[in-house]
């Protein structure tokens, strides 16, 4: 390894709206090295690299290549300086062959397009680098790993000396990762500079020569991998604990509300997004879910809400009915009679309810007068229930995706109409009744201080934070029994964030089981009673919110396990070995 810098970044800053993605970053990429860029979500890793690759243009700062200052305004410019980036979403044409994709946009020798020659050349070049590529195979017939190989080779074929890979291992199996690393090492020997963006610590330690750590858009340090260890890197990555002063009352008598048992969920590509996990969600408690984005949080919540199919496992819902009156929620007299015969109800004085010999009219009166109470909580397996049925049971999901308008709200409709979306089934006539949704919308606007001209303004015209308030407010308004809020404060300013925290705390006091998926570890530590950490679709630890330490959570997020979870995994492994 020589120490000449291929690229030097000096004082690079980039802001998107009010968010500072990168702030005054200095970074060197040397010739013939593998440099890891490590950081949490939103730490500005990808943005920084995108500026080198010509996708974004820095607001401030200089980029120097071989000591000379350059301006890179497009991917084409980047190519000129022999920089190639391999994005997480491959830029390949599905119906074209590997060779066609690799040479796309290039000029032919002597201007003659001869696919046989091109195939030949691609094959020769790929052998030289030790790639296994079938030039005639079409992209849509390839596995993810094959596609990635084509994408990497495409960049090399164009003569790139500096390769940037954005989370290249996220989509690969362990075997494929090993193969990829071999290829990367070979390229390093060839004098290429390789940058991998990642948040898997073990991979950082295994592959890279140096590690650059980013936190909240700032460059913390660059260290030699051999001089550091996982603990030190984690500390640099998550930083010191910040006291947020969020009120956290002790949970009152938390009882299991949802029991999740051996849940496995597949993602779109058929890969296990959630892999055989078990835990409880308690009423009157905020359960935080920590993890780096894409480690199964979304699939977990969506599977509970019934939006995605569960591969295996059970989800048991404890409907908190004990000593609560029976309602005509199901409008089913027969069912109530049958349940009474099983001895499930009691009168307010404690006597067992016996409906034999009572006329329907009398029963209706008893129910309406709230005289029939449950002995015990209702226990319902919601594994095979439809999303609507799950919602009607009071399990609500408010999901704030990256672009807030794709899930839950219709951008072109007003706040009132968006309220109506949730309650449309309650109307009795074919015409819409906007009165109640309007009241609700006005309450939300008032209580949550939504900044909007009026309640008929299309939601898409509101700022992001206000859209989030509407979304969360609507889910809370339906008095849920389980409230799952994913990234509810993403992109919100401090004040709005605190409003949301208070809302969640109020729900907790009402004995609602709150699930909070968040990105900011400080918030998770300050708000949640328990913190469950997901990594690669498995639980790497469940910590007490009060005693958990930031670096502890950070390590778990990066795939290390607590003693308990490691034991479970070991048991599973040995079980499998016995069975297999």
Partner 1 sequence: MFVNILTNAIRFSATFLYGSTGEIITEKSGHLNLGIPGVMCVGSAVGCLVEYYLVLAGVNVGFLLVLLPLLATFASGGLMGLLYSFLTVTLKSNQNVVGLAMTTFGSGLCGYMVSPITGRLHIIAPMSVHFSNMFGVAETNWFTSIFLSHGWLFYLSIVIAIVAQVVLNHTRLGLHLRAVGENPATADAVGINVTGYRYGATVIGCGISALGGFFAVMEYMGGMWDSAAYIEGLGWLSVALVIFTLWRPALSIFGSIVFAALYILGARLSVSFAMIEVLKMLPYVVTIVVLIITSIFGSKKTQAPAALGLNYFREER
| Site for partner 1, rule CB under 8 A | 55, 75-76, 79, 91-96, 100-101, 104-108, 113, 115, 138, 140
- Contact status, residue 195 vs residue 163, Cβ threshold 8 Å: yes
Closest separation between CB of residue 79 and partner 1, Å? Answer: 7
Residue 310: name the closest of 256, 262, 278 by CA: 262
Closer by beta carbon to partner 1, 140 or else 365 = 140
User: What are the structure tokens assigned to 337, written together?
Assistant: 């009679």
Q: How far is the CB of 76 from partner 1 (least distance, A)?
A: 5
Minimum distance of partner 1 from residue 104's CB (angstroms): 5
In the complex, least distance from residue 142 CB atom to partner 1, rounded to whole angstroms:
12
Q: In what order do the strands lie in the sheet with 256-266?
A: 272-282, 256-266, 312-319, 378-381
Q: Which residue's CB is nearer to partner 1, number 155 or number 515?
A: 155
167: three-class secondary structure by DSSP: coil
- Closest contact distance (angstroms) between CB of 282 and partner 1 is 40
What is the smallest separation between the CB atom of 460 and partner 1, expressed in angstroms?
Answer: 16
Task: Measure the CA–CA gap between 189 and 183, rounded to whole angstroms.
Answer: 10
Least separation in angstroms between residue 488's CB and partner 1 is 25
Rg of the chain over Cα atoms, rounded to whole angstroms, equals: 28
Task: Tell me phi and psi for residue 343, to 5 degrees.
Answer: 80, 40
d(CA 250, CA 397): 24
Rounded to 5 degrees, φ, ψ at 197 are: -90, 125
Q: Name which of 86, 102, 89, 292 is nearest 195 in CA terms.
A: 86
Largest CA distance in the chain: 98
Q: Is 333 left (phi over 0), alpha (psi -120 to 50) or beta?
A: alpha
CB distance 410 to 459 below 8 Å: yes
Query: Smallest distance, Å, CB 139 to partner 1?
Result: 9
Residue whose CB is less far from partner 1, 86 or 395: 86
CB of 108 to partner 1, least distance (A): 6
Residue 84 or 491 with smaller CB distance to partner 1: 84
Which token pair is 107?
A: 């000029």
HSE, CB side, 13 Å, CA atoms: give it for residue 2.
7
Tell me which residue of 240, 334, 340, 247 sits closest to 286, measured CA to CA: 247
Q: Which is nearer to partner 1, 77 or 522 (CB)?
A: 77
Report in angstroms how near the CB of residue 14 gets to partner 1 at its nearest. Answer: 15
Phi, psi (degrees; rounded to nearest 5) at 291: 160, 155
Q: Residue 21's closest CA among 211, 285, 237, 219?
A: 219
Give the nearer residue to partner 1 in terms of CB position, either 75 or 325: 75
- From the CB of 141, what's the least distance to partner 1, in Å? 9
The whole-angstrom separation of Cα 43 and Cα 19 is: 11
Residue closer to partner 1 by CB (options 91, 461) is 91
DSSP 208-253: -SEEEEEETTEEEEEEEGGG--HHHHHHHHH-S--------PPPSS
> Closer CB to partner 1, residue 106 or residue 221?
106
Instruction: Between 105 and 270, name the residue whose CB sits nearer to partner 1.
Output: 105
**C-beta of 48 vs 527, nearer to partner 1:** 48
Pick between residue 76 and residue 546 the one whose CB is nearest to partner 1.
76
């Amino acid at each position: 390894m020589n120490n000449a810098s291929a690229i030097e970044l000096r004082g690079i800053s980039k802001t998107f709206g009010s968010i500072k993605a990168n702030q005054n970053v200095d970074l060197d990429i040397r010739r013939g090295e593998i440099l890891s860029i490590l950081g949490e979500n939103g730490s500005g890793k990808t943005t920084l690299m995108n500026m080198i690759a010509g996708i974004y243009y820095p607001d401030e700062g200089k980029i120097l290549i071989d000591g000379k200052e350059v301006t890179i305004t497009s991917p084409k410019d980047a190519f000129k300086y022999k920089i190639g980036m391999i994005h997480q979403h491959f830029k390949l044409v599905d119906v074209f062959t590997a060779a066609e994709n690799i040479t796309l946009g290039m000029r032919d020798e002597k201007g003659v397009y001869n696919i046989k020659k091109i195939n030949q050349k691609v094959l020769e070049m790929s052998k030289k680098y030790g790639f296994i590529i079938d030039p005639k195979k079409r992209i849509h017939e390839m596995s993810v790993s094959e596609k990635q190989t084509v994408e990497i080779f495409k960049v090399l074929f164009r003569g790139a000396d500096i390769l940037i890979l954005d989370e290249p291992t996220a989509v690969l199996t362990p075997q494929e990762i090993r193969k990829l690393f071999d290829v990367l090492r070979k390229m390093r020997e060839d004098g290429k500079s390789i940058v991998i963006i990642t948040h898997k610590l073990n991979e950082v330690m295994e592959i890279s020569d140096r590690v650059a750590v980013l936190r909240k858009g700032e460059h913390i340090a660059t260290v030699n991998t051999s001089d550091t260890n996982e603990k030190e890197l984690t500390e640099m990555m998550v930083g010191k604990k910040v006291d947020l002063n969020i009120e956290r009352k002790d949970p009152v008598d938390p009882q299991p509300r949802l029991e999740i048992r051996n849940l496995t969920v597949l993602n779109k590509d058929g890969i296990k997004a959630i892999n055989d996990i078990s835990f409880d969600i308690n009423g009157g408690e905020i359960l935080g879910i920590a993890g780096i984005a894409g480690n199964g949080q979304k699939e977990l919540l969506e599977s509970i809400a019934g939006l995605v199919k569960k591969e295996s496992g059970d989800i048991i819902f404890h409907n908190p009915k004990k000593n609560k009156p029976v309602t005509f929620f199901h409008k089913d007299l027969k069912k109530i009679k049958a349940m009474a015969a099983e001895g499930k109800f009691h009168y307010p004085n404690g006597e067992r309810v016996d409906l034999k010999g009572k006329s329907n009219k009398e029963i209706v009166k008893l129910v309406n007068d709230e005289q029939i109470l449950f002995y015990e909580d209702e226990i319902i397996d919601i594994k095979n229930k439809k999303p609507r049925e799950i919602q009607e049971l009071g399990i609500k999901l408010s999901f704030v995706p990256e672009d807030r308008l794709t899930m839950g709200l219709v951008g072109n409709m007003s706040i009132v109409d968006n309220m109506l979306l949730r309650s449309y089934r309650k109307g009795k006539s074919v015409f819409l009744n906007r009165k109640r949704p309007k009241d609700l919308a006005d309450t939300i606007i008032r209580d949550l201080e939504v900044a909007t001209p009026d309640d008929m303004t299309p939601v898409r015209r509101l700022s992001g934070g206000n859209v989030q308030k509407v979304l969360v407010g609507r889910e809370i308004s339906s008095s849920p029994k389980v409230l799952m809020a994913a990234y509810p404060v993403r992109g919100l300013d401090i004040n709005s964030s605190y409003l949301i925290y208070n809302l969640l705390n109020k729900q907790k006091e009402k004995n609602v089981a709150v699930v909070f998926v968040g990105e900011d570890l400080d918030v998770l530590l300050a708000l949640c009673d328990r913190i469950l950490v997901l990594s690669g679709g498995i639980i790497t630890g469940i910590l007490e919110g009060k005693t958990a330490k930031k670096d502890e959570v950070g390590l778990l997020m990066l795939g290390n396990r607590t003693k308990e979870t490691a034991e479970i995994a070991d048991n599973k492994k040995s079980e499998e070995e016995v069975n297999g």
